[in-house]
Amino acid sequence: MGKRANGEGSVFPYRDGWAGYVWVTTPEGKKTRKWAYGKTREETHEKWLKLHELASKGPVPTKNPTIATYLTRWLAEVVEPNREPTTYAGYEPLVRLYMIPGLGKKRLDKLTVRDVQTWLNTLPTLCTCCDQKKDHRRPEGKRKCCSKGECCKDYPSRSTIASIRRVLRSALGNAIREELISKNVAALTVLPNASKTKKTRNHGVWNVDEARKFLEHLREAKEPLYAAYVLILILGLRRGEVLGLTWDSVDLDGEELWVSHQLNRVRGQLLHRDRTKTEDSTDSLPLLGLCISALRERQRIQEEAREDAGEKWKNSDLVFTTKNGTPVEPRNFYRSFERYCEKAGVPRIRVHDTRHTCASLLAALDVHPRVAMRVLRHSQISVTMNVYTQVPSPETRKALDRLNKSFEDG
């Protein structure tokens, strides 16, 4: 091997094999020895050379945490203080329910592309009900599947697996920045074949007539939050965006609306945040006739509620409030939506799925394609025109026109 220079370390017999060390600088700036072990002198010497090369490039960690330890710290020290509360609320279950059980015992610096790929490949056939003992946690009389040995095959969808991989990639990217590892192995993996994963549940989408029927029922029932459902269906607003909407973000005379807030319950707290899901979400949206008339009606309803509540009224700039002026609980809004689906005689879908009906309604309302493109946030007019090939019937157009004029007559 020749004579080694000072500080290069040494290789020598150790127990039933060989050992060697290299002086390294840790990420904390401390000078210390890092060891390499092997069964033969050649194997140990090769590891020693790689370690020496690593030390020449910068700081080298000497204590390597497990994936479970690292991910727990990453969530607590990096994600929670610096990201939106909803981001943490989305990441935490994926880490706790999937990553830690599947990869948690492996050392961070020893994690390989093959480790992650093999684990990802198992997820499409992993029944989450069995694995997480969901059915076991139900009361004795309500257990119905996995606890009785009847697997319900509740496999994670492809989108869930993609989210798991994306979060792991983000976590390992942070580990690189902290100089704990040199390569992001999650970024080198591929998602399992689509045919092997459960397709995302089809919650259903309303057609134009079902959406019109739903709105007509709410109008006849004099639902105070009718305008919220109009904005969800006509402008495609998300539940958090419509419940967080403020009057200073609405220009009825200028016929514009800005989506700059969200109202969500996160980890037990009701948060009214001044950030939306994407930067594009803060662009102004054109207010169509049906939206304007519904919002003017909402102003009248809210003013009446303010007078009725008197001193009990809680002042805020929110467009949609309870009868006492407090924010609308997102979960209650969802329950009301489900109840009205049943009463209106339309299929029960998720609130979020109403966004997919938005384009069809715009076409039925004779909205110009350029205006629809702005509402739908399409980057190309050709995408919008594909929607406008679905021409609704004259009867549907007349029904929506009557709905629009119902405020003027009411």
| Span of 59-63, 89-93, 246-250 with lowest mean pLDDT | 59-63
| Shared domain check, 370 and 222 | yes
| Shared domain check, 184 and 232 | no
Does the pLDDT value for residue 375 go beyond 80? no
* Structural domain contains residue 202: no
| Shared domain check, 298 and 151 | no
Does the pLDDT value for residue 326 go beyond 90? yes
What's the structural domain count of the chain? 3
> Are 265 and 287 contacting, i.e. CB atoms less than 8 angstroms apart?
no
Q: Which of 361, 364, 360 is nearest to 393 (CA)?
A: 364
Does the pLDDT value for residue 5 go beyond 50? no
| Shared domain check, 316 and 394 | yes
Q: Which of 196, 229, 247 is the last residue of a domain?
A: 196
Domain span at residue 122 reads 97-196
Q: How confident is the model over 172-204, as pLDDT tens digits?
A: 999 999 878 889 999 999 998 755 445 444 456
Q: For residue 355, what are the CA distances in angstroms to 165, 230, 338?
A: 26, 11, 16
Q: Which of 406, 241, 266 is nearest to 320 (CA)?
A: 241
> Are 261 and 244 contacting, i.e. CB atoms less than 8 angstroms apart?
yes
Q: For residue 229, what are the CA distances in angstroms to 143, 167, 258, 270, 372?
A: 36, 33, 17, 21, 18
| Shared domain check, 214 and 189 | no
Q: How confident is the model over 123-175, as pLDDT tens digits?
A: 998 888 888 888 888 888 888 888 888 888 888 888 899 999 999 999 999 99
| Shared domain check, 154 and 119 | yes
| Shared domain check, 124 and 39 | no
| Shared domain check, 47 and 189 | no
Type of residue found at 332? N
Q: Which of 339, 320, 336 is nearest to 328 (CA)?
A: 320
Tell me what pLDDT residue 7 has. 39
Find the helix packing angle between 208-220 and 226-234, rounded to 10°: 160
Q: What is the rounded end-to-end Cα distance, in angstroms, of the chain?
A: 96
* Structural domain contains residue 18: yes
* Structural domain contains residue 87: no
Average pLDDT, the chain: 83
Tell me what pLDDT residue 235 has. 87
| Shared domain check, 247 and 288 | yes
Q: Which of 196, 217, 241 is the last residue of a domain?
A: 196
Q: How confident is the model over 267-312, as pLDDT tens digits?
A: 777 877 775 544 444 568 888 888 999 999 999 999 999 999 999 9
* Structural domain contains residue 84: no
| Shared domain check, 51 and 102 | no
Does the pLDDT value for residue 99 go beyond 50? yes
Tell me what pLDDT residue 406 has. 52
| Residue 308, CA atoms < 13 Å, CB-side half-sphere | 10
Parallel, antiparallel or unpaired: strands 31-38 and 17-25 = antiparallel
* Structural domain contains residue 356: yes
Q: Which residues pair with 12 in a beta bridge?
A: 19
* Structural domain contains residue 75: no
- Cβ neighbors of 72 (< 8 A, separation 6 or more) are 95, 100
| Shared domain check, 218 and 181 | no
Q: Which is more confident, 166 or 384?
A: 166
**Residue 300, SS3 per DSSP:** helix
How many other β-carbons are positioned within 10 Å of the β-carbon of residue 141?
6
Q: For residue 303, what are the CA distances in angstroms to 259, 282, 310, 333?
A: 23, 27, 11, 20
Angle at Cα 167 formed by Cα 164 and Cα 171, nearest 5°? Answer: 135
Tell me what pLDDT residue 91 has. 94
Q: For residue 403, name the pLDDT band (cuts at 50, 70, 90).
A: low
Tell me what pLDDT residue 389 has. 54
Report the CATH number at residue 387.
Answer: 1.10.443.10
| Shared domain check, 186 and 235 | no
Does the pLDDT value for residue 396 go beyond 80? no
Does the pLDDT value for residue 399 go beyond 90? no
Separation between Cα atoms, residue 33 and residue 24, nearest integer Å: 6
Report the CATH number at residue 125.
Answer: 1.10.150.130
* Structural domain contains residue 48: yes
* Structural domain contains residue 91: no
Both tokens assigned to 233 = 């269906």
| Span of 131-140, 341-350, 367-376 with lowest mean pLDDT | 367-376
Does the pLDDT value for residue 2 go beyond 60? no
Separation between Cα atoms, residue 172 and residue 366, nearest integer Å: 49
